[in-house]
A and B are shown apart, each in its own frame.
Chain A
């Protein structure tokens, strides 16, 4: 009896709930959607006032002004207050007061408990609460900060498809979405894909044919191994890292205090070598921040410090005030914090420069804890050979003194802008500059752009000139610059790592600058995140799309992974396998998912046009480097000399990784073909297709010269068909089809009639300009 009563009560309750939900669906939800969601929805990265009305939770949590509704209490619910237009500062919607009947519905709905069946809004990446920042403890629950763990491979209805463990996760997703994987690509497609992917160079005709003919079971894995061992591999994958590191050889401008970096190439060479040697990724990162402080340091390792040593810097005219100079310096520190946090950790820490991060668990103090590391080091040239430490130190500081004196005396040299008592000082500076320059120009010690530990202070005690006061052995803890203003300082924050990775209050760094400790934190407590971010980047370079499609934002404003368990499992095993990039390549390249054909299927295209679930391989355009190198290889001009100083891309036959990269005068061809903006970290390459690019392909002297070289390299034209075949093999790695030969002969005959001589170069240019050459799939 009792049981029955309970059941009845339960049923009545359920019925009432269903009525309430019905009321919500009919009366409330449409109004929220039509009148409010445009400004207050999780679809927006920054919903106004932090309020989201598109989920049950969003209304209850509310926004900057507090919860939008209190169940059962209309009079305490801000939502109703706003709708009723009573408060002059809170009238919603701003387009005009809603009809009284609608207000009455809202009142009724809230009185009856504000029934709301909606879950978290779809595609939501919005914050859990409004106001400044997510509290640290709550923020620790974010998926990207969780310890890495391996997952069992999901069971599959297609036994035998999976080749490496990651395939099981891909297949599970495909099956959930009722999609089928594509068959394996044909061997000629596959060999081109793997060559371009691993080395940035296409295979030659002979290499393609050899692979196509090799039916041994391990032909493919042997190919992968051979390419991973090729020096060309490090040139390709080192270049990928250089994008992350926003590497360049000068600064956005080049005035006296921020002259170009003549030895920046040494860092680039170190990166290429390190990638070729498969230096474990954790060590690779640590070396770039603190190679000189690590056990087993070799003088050549100093080159790794170019990651910070080649950072962009802004000119600081000594005539400017202390506050202005400090602002410029703090912009430099900000750039390092941004490049490091987005590049290595997928976190937008620079958002916390003026206030706590609005969406992620990063505090204003976290920012200054990190920025302090960069305020405790200085960009200098350092020797890369074994030297007496005192002599090395002297050399470093003499070089630095020369740069600074030159800058100072240059800017102060405009004597009428400075106080008269400084005139003799400037004269003495100029003398010293001349003396130093002569001596140092003769010094044969090879140098690289690195950092040295010293607190960076700004001396504004002289009214007309501002000096940098560099204090070796005295690292600088920064105060909070309130709202980013250097003239308005708050508490001093000890140099330290982000709180979200600490148990309780983060420990201050204690060893010198804290560079090595910072590096250890990144690969230690933040290691799971660093590994996820790196694995995701590598995935994107292999597949053309990332698992997390915002590769430099793993915070709440970024995208979530399409395959969370796959990313977690892959990152966990990457770390377990010694952070080995080559291990990661093997896992991905040997997979069935990677070997899929790129052909479009109707089912795939209609269900998943952006290929989130990987029902096929993504076809891709070659990036600038691979495209240019492909052309130079086809023409036989490619110079494979490794390393050394850079040359302009359109003036040198060397691989594109050795092209000059400038922040102040970006190479226009590289810009045209989507080389990233190196004044800041760039999350990924863009792919644009413009008529201006095609003008280069059709008209530039560079392309015409390549066409001449190609025609010459393809030999005599006694046998036109033979020459056409050679040209096809060199450019596209295959033999021409019969109709293609007909087209070629017809074109050549026509031009011969018009010109009175053969037009092989015009024809060769066509092959260099084909879509086929710019593309792989």
Chain B
């Protein structure tokens, strides 16, 4: 069966019987609009089709979309972006003056064995583990003074995803989808790329309507039909499917009108529409093999590299938020053998992330795409189990690029051991406030009323880090 082109085939449909159309309209004015939007090619469909109209930005946005590169487990800032000569000087010692306590038993100071050099015009220090990212430092705003509020993976991951330690609040991607709606009706607005489907709660919508939940795809696959099950309808072409779906949705709308307000029913009606549209876009969009050989070589061919490349393809087509996980599991949780493990794990991360920046830039997409890099926390300057590092929520590094962020910025600092953020500290809430700001949202005004009060991603916190903005 040829891949149907939604624009052509649906425009060429014969007109429908009048009685039916009238019936549909009488049911719900909004439904006709959705059906129509589904027939339009994405570039023609001006209005987003989320259930309720999206909030829309509060002011002119700098970024239209976000790619969050997430290194699950807590990558070591001390071995990548935050050199600390003091560690070498006092290697093996444990200074009494500093409180270096974390969850686990740790030993003396563990210097990084990796050589740091200054790169680019900004002179940012980056270790030899990241030769490719070293080449694009002038695009990055490196924040060396991040801190979070919990030393344990699950709560800390919840914090960086949702601003709260509980596994119940809406995640950043869901807030973005809620705020901006979807730009492309054929694809979900919020996509999670992870080789494991087990992180489901990290792309939850929490109390936001179910349609803002992230949709997960397995980026260890490259064939869209492997990546997305049941993508192809073997029996019906696009227009036949559209007719079938219009009937289904008419019945669903009527049922919804009788049942009353219900998030599940609304969410399923919208998910049904998205599913329908996805099948036409996805065979193309999700196939990184369609990229020129040169581009694929630039990114590399590991799951993370494919995730980065796929993320670019998705934001190009209007997906608002793509979260790429370096997984499965939490590979960056280097409690032991950190030196050898980082050497194995960094190259493909480095290559994929740097290629993404360069590629977005070449395509003129970097200006409108905010790329964020980091994990749930950093690691300790003191050793664990000989040559490992424990979790460190008190100070770590993240970087942002594009989307109205100033390139070549080095912001904030940890103490001389790299344990605690001390200068220009940036909390997880500040990070969220800054991300929302770039999308055109005042984080204090992006709210959702639930259980009797207005909730925010940043709760009662958050400061936009204006110092890193262009």
Q: In the complex, are the beta carbons of B165 and A44 less than 8 A apart?
A: yes
A742: B residues at CB distance < 8 A: 19-20, 23
Q: In the complex, are the beta carbons of B213 and A689 less than 8 A apart?
A: yes
* Chain B, interface residues (CB within 8 Å), range: 35 or more
B276 is an interface residue with CB less than 8 A from chain A: yes
Q: In the complex, are the beta carbons of B236 and A762 less than 8 A apart?
A: yes
What mask results when residues 762 to 776 of chain A are scored 1 for a CB within 8 Å of chain B, else 0?
A: 110111011110110
B264 is an interface residue with CB less than 8 A from chain A: yes
B337 to chain A, nearest CB (A): 15
Of residues 669 to 704 in A, which have CB atoms within 8 Å of B's CB atoms? 671-672, 677, 686-701, 704
Which of A299-307, A472-480, A745-753 participates in binding chain B?
A745-753
Q: Which residue of A lies closest to B232 (CB)?
A: A699
Question: How far apart sit A771 and B268, CA to CA, in the bound complex (Å)?
Answer: 7
Question: How far apart sit A740 and B276, CA to CA, in the bound complex (Å)?
Answer: 23
Question: How far apart sit A233 and B452, CA to CA, in the bound complex (Å)?
Answer: 39
Residue with the greatest number of chain A CB neighbours at <10 A, chosen from B149, B247, B261, B269: B247
What mask results when residues 398 to 431 of chain B are scored 1 for a CB within 8 Å of chain A, else 0?
A: 0000000000000000000000100001000100
Which of B61-69, B75-83, B223-231 participates in binding chain A?
B223-231
A610 is an interface residue with CB less than 8 A from chain B: yes
Question: How far apart sit A80 and B165, CA to CA, in the bound complex (Å)?
Answer: 28
B264: A residues at CB distance < 8 A: 619, 621, 687, 689, 775
B231: A residues at CB distance < 8 A: 695, 699
What mask results when residues 241 to 272 of chain B are scored 1 for a CB within 8 Å of chain A, else 0?
A: 10111011011101110011110110111011
Quick one: given A483-B105, A689-B264, A770-B255, are A743 and B451 in contact (CB under 8 Å)? Answer: no
Question: How far apart sit A599 and B262, CA to CA, in the bound complex (Å)?
Answer: 10
A295 is an interface residue with CB less than 8 A from chain B: no
A483: B residues at CB distance < 8 A: 104-105
Q: In the complex, are the beta carbons of B271 and A743 less than 8 A apart?
A: no
A772: B residues at CB distance < 8 A: 251-252, 255
A669 to chain B, nearest CB (A): 8
Quick one: given A699-B230, A771-B268, A775-B264, are A751 and B155 in contact (CB under 8 Å)? Answer: no
What mask results when residues 144 to 170 of chain B are scored 1 for a CB within 8 Å of chain A, else 0?
A: 000101101001000000000110000
Of residues 268 to 326 in A, which have CB atoms within 8 Å of B's CB atoms? none
Q: In the complex, are the beta carbons of B234 and A89 less than 8 A apart?
A: no
Q: Which residue of A lies closest to B209 (CB)?
A: A689
Q: In the complex, are the beta carbons of B229 and A668 less than 8 A apart?
A: yes
B7: A residues at CB distance < 8 A: none
A95 is an interface residue with CB less than 8 A from chain B: yes
Q: In the complex, are the beta carbons of B233 and A771 less than 8 A apart?
A: no
A45 is an interface residue with CB less than 8 A from chain B: yes
Question: How far apart sit A765 and B240, CA to CA, in the bound complex (Å)?
Answer: 13
A39: B residues at CB distance < 8 A: 149
Q: In the complex, are the beta carbons of A691 and B229 less than 8 A apart?
A: no
What mask results when residues 22 to 52 of chain A are scored 1 for a CB within 8 Å of chain B, else 0?
A: 0000000000001000110000111010000
Contact of B425 among A89, A95, A677, A777 (CB under 8 A): A95
Q: Which residue of A lies closest to B197 (CB)?
A: A671
Quick one: given A94-B147, A699-B279, are A754 and B240 in contact (CB under 8 Å)? Answer: yes
Contact of A750 among B16, B97, B460 (CB under 8 A): B16
Q: In the complex, are the beta carbons of A698 and B245 less than 8 A apart?
A: yes
B98 is an interface residue with CB less than 8 A from chain A: yes
Q: In the complex, are the beta carbons of B240 and A693 less than 8 A apart?
A: no
Quick one: given A605-B261, A609-B450, A692-B228, are A46 and B248 in contact (CB under 8 Å)? Answer: no
B296 is an interface residue with CB less than 8 A from chain A: no
Q: Which residue of B lies closest to A762 (CB)?
A: B244
B300 is an interface residue with CB less than 8 A from chain A: no
Question: How far apart sit A90 and B165, CA to CA, in the bound complex (Å)?
Answer: 24
Question: How far apart sit A668 and B20, CA to CA, in the bound complex (Å)?
Answer: 38
B461 is an interface residue with CB less than 8 A from chain A: yes
A713 is an interface residue with CB less than 8 A from chain B: no
B328 is an interface residue with CB less than 8 A from chain A: no
Contact of B267 among A689, A695, A754, A769 (CB under 8 A): A689
B215 is an interface residue with CB less than 8 A from chain A: yes
Contact of B248 among A44, A691, A769 (CB under 8 A): A769
Quick one: given A599-B260, A742-B23, A746-B17, are A45 and B271 in contact (CB under 8 Å)? Answer: no
A712 is an interface residue with CB less than 8 A from chain B: no
Question: How far apart sit A45 and B452, CA to CA, in the bound complex (Å)?
Answer: 22
B351 is an interface residue with CB less than 8 A from chain A: no
Q: In the complex, are the beta carbons of A94 and B233 less than 8 A apart?
A: no
What mask results when residues 80 to 111 of chain B are scored 1 for a CB within 8 Å of chain A, else 0?
A: 00000000000000000111000011000000
* Chain A, interface residues (CB within 8 Å), range: 35 or more
A480 to chain B, nearest CB (A): 16
Contact of A694 among B17, B197, B275 (CB under 8 A): B275
A47 to chain B, nearest CB (A): 9
B198 is an interface residue with CB less than 8 A from chain A: yes
Quick one: given A94-B425, A775-B264, are A689 and B244 in contact (CB under 8 Å)? Answer: no
Question: How far apart sit A38 and B430, CA to CA, in the bound complex (Å)?
Answer: 13
Residue with the greatest number of chain A CB neighbours at <10 A, chosen from B211, B245, B265, B425: B265
B210 is an interface residue with CB less than 8 A from chain A: yes
B19: A residues at CB distance < 8 A: 742, 746
Q: Which residue of B lies closest to A95 (CB)?
A: B425
B352 is an interface residue with CB less than 8 A from chain A: no
Q: In the complex, are the beta carbons of A699 and B149 less than 8 A apart?
A: no
Question: How far apart sit A747 and B240, CA to CA, in the bound complex (Å)?
Answer: 10
B363 is an interface residue with CB less than 8 A from chain A: no
Contact of A672 among B149, B229, B271, B272 (CB under 8 A): B229
Of residues 471 to 496 in A, which have CB atoms within 8 Å of B's CB atoms? 483
A621: B residues at CB distance < 8 A: 264
Q: In the complex, are the beta carbons of B105 and A94 less than 8 A apart?
A: no
Q: In the complex, are the beta carbons of B200 and A692 less than 8 A apart?
A: no
A88 is an interface residue with CB less than 8 A from chain B: yes
A739 to chain B, nearest CB (A): 6
B100 to chain A, nearest CB (A): 9
Question: How far apart sit A749 and B241, CA to CA, in the bound complex (Å)?
Answer: 15
Q: In the complex, are the beta carbons of B255 and A695 less than 8 A apart?
A: no
Q: In the complex, are the beta carbons of B260 and A698 less than 8 A apart?
A: no
Contact of B251 among A672, A677, A687, A740 (CB under 8 A): A740
Q: Which residue of A lies closest to B239 (CB)?
A: A754
B271: A residues at CB distance < 8 A: 689-691, 693-694
Q: Which residue of B lies closest to A48 (CB)?
A: B149
A136 is an interface residue with CB less than 8 A from chain B: no
Q: In the complex, are the beta carbons of B260 and A600 less than 8 A apart?
A: yes
Quick one: given A89-B98, A609-B451, A775-B264, are A751 and B243 in contact (CB under 8 Å)? Answer: yes
Of residues 266 to 294 in B, which have CB atoms within 8 Å of A's CB atoms? 267-269, 271-272, 274-276, 278-279
Quick one: given A688-B200, A746-B20, are A695 and B150 in contact (CB under 8 Å)? Answer: no
Q: In the complex, are the beta carbons of B235 and A704 less than 8 A apart?
A: yes
Residue with the greatest number of chain B CB neighbours at <10 A, chosen from A94, A699, A763, A777: A699
Can you list 29 A-B contacts with CB-CB less than 8 angstroms, sorted by A residue number? A44-B149, A46-B165, A48-B149, A88-B98, A90-B99, A94-B425, A605-B261, A607-B452, A619-B262, A671-B197, A672-B229, A686-B200, A690-B213, A690-B216, A691-B275, A692-B229, A694-B276, A696-B229, A699-B230, A699-B232, A743-B20, A743-B23, A743-B251, A754-B240, A765-B244, A770-B248, A770-B252, A770-B255, A772-B252
Residue positions of A touching B, CB distance < 8 A: 34, 38-39, 44-46, 48, 88-90, 94-95, 483, 598-600, 605, 607, 609-610, 619, 621, 668, 671-672, 677, 686-701, 704, 739-740, 742-744, 746-747, 749-751, 754, 762-763, 765-767, 769-772, 774-775, 777
Residue positions of B touching A, CB distance < 8 A: 16-17, 19-20, 23, 97-99, 104-105, 147, 149-150, 152, 155, 165-166, 188, 197-198, 200, 210-211, 213, 215-216, 228-236, 240-241, 243-245, 247-248, 250-252, 254-256, 259-262, 264-265, 267-269, 271-272, 274-276, 278-279, 420, 425, 429, 450-452, 460-461
A691-B278, A692-B215, A698-B241 given; 4 more Cβ-contact pairs under 8 Å: A38-B149, A695-B275, A762-B240, A771-B252
